[in-house]
Structure 1
Amino acid sequence: MRTFSNALLYGCMIVLAVLWLLPIALVLMNAAKSLEDFTQGNIWALPHSFSLFANMKEALHMGELGRGMLNSFGYSFLGAGISILLAAMAAFGVVILRLKGGFYWFLLIYSGTVFPFQMYLVPLFKGYQQFGIYDTFGGMLLFYVAISIPFCMFLLRNYMTTIPFEVVEAAQMDGFRSFGIFARIIFPLLLPPVSVLMLFQFTWIWNDLVFGLTLSRSESVRPVMAGLASMQGIFFRSGVTTLMAGIVLTSIPTIVLFFSLQRNFIKGMVLTVKS
């Protein structure tokens, strides 16, 4: 009976894995085809010639995709990095320094995740126009940092509660001040959850489309997903294979980041679940 249950479990996992990989394989196959190969063949047929890199090169030079990737690298790395640092400092103040009313400060910050993000669209659009930061790199970065802080603080606060306070007391006895304790004692211990947050926040910012379209309009500011969306209006001129190649191209950075942080990511997920 146990053997049958294991076989059934593995069978379900294999079926789910195939269903998950099937759309990816379909996109990769069609992104590697030439336009003639795609129009004359079947979407499920293997490509007769490998044109993936040529299609990627064409995608980078069309619409706003190339510039959008550069913009999104800036938004994703800076937005995730700054939000994690600020959230870590806020969590340090609430948990380690034990600020007066720290729990209520935490609730105030975390309340930014209570409402659906779509509720912010109209107020943000009007506010950005009023303060003159609409369609600016700084305005986009400010939004991504602000929207990422609540979740980052939530996770880091929960993780910091598992750190023995004796570590902090020992550092104080050795003459460390608050910033020294944070920079040299606490923050190095946060590497696993920081890896999880870096991957989550980078991916969320990189894949954002709604706010990228709402808060920007020029090619020099718009993120990559807005650039990819603009290709869908012109793909009949460039070819659907170019659009598919653009989709593959925009997926590479998050995949590379995942494998780069894989060891700390898995460790951080385990520790986060335990905390």
Structure 2
Amino acid sequence: MTQSVPPIRSLLAGVTKDDIRRDPFPHVVIRDALPRDLYDALSASMPTAEYIGTRIGKEITSNERYNYMSEHILQDEAMARVWKDFVTYHASPEFYAEFLDLFQEDLLANLPDAEKQCGPLRELRVGRRNRDGFETHDILMDCTAVINSAVTGRPSAYRGPHVDKPHKLFGGLFYMRQTQDDADGGDLVLYKYREGAHKFTTSASEYGDNRFDIDPKYVEEVTTVPYRSNTLVMYPINPLALHGVSVRSLTPHQRRFVALVGDLQNPLFDLAL
């Protein structure tokens, strides 16, 4: 008998501008973002670090990140139908429109020249990363199943304070913590700049691009969003959107989440400060 697939519901369904928090930068934190039956179906069939690592050719090491992008999921016959439907919607023009309904005013308030650089936000041609290209599309969406592997050897943080790449329009994290995960840490920390000069550093990353990290001495913690199951964090990207991941304790458990992104061809701001 074919197992029924729960209907897909947007992570932003029912989220309004009243939910936006603006300290230290505009973002939403939504608990119980999905109905329980849909969340449980996704959680039960989420790939592991070992599964992803085998398919993308990446060795398993301590507290490393393993990405299974929407195109990987859609082309994998073994992946559950609920995942295929979920990533298809959350990398679609419809989801992009939901993001704009929620955050367009805040995005343009922090990046007033954005539409001069990339064109009217409502008119951008939406494609999917690893399927489409910038020759025919203006923004490439993705909805990626992500695992941070078990922490061995010593406690560690996957990544400290940083701003996401300036060619990304938004970032989203949907946490899928397992019930048995009793590790400490792995929370999302939001920062603001300390007074005075500060400087970003760039370093090579697995994506063949630059990542923009900032020494902790230049920032101070404002708030922490706990790593909890069925919790969405989403925000427009700008130079103020400083965030990082807190240190995780030694643990055999994997840290699981979905990453939501929208890539532009060119950066919207300069972090060479």
Indicate the TM-score class for this superposition, using the shorter chain for normalisation: under 0.3
Structure having the larger proportion of residues in helix: 1
Structure having the larger proportion of residues in strand: 2
Higher relative contact order (CA 8 A, sep 6+): 1
TM-score, length-normalised on structure 2?
Answer: 0.25
Bigger radius of gyration: 1
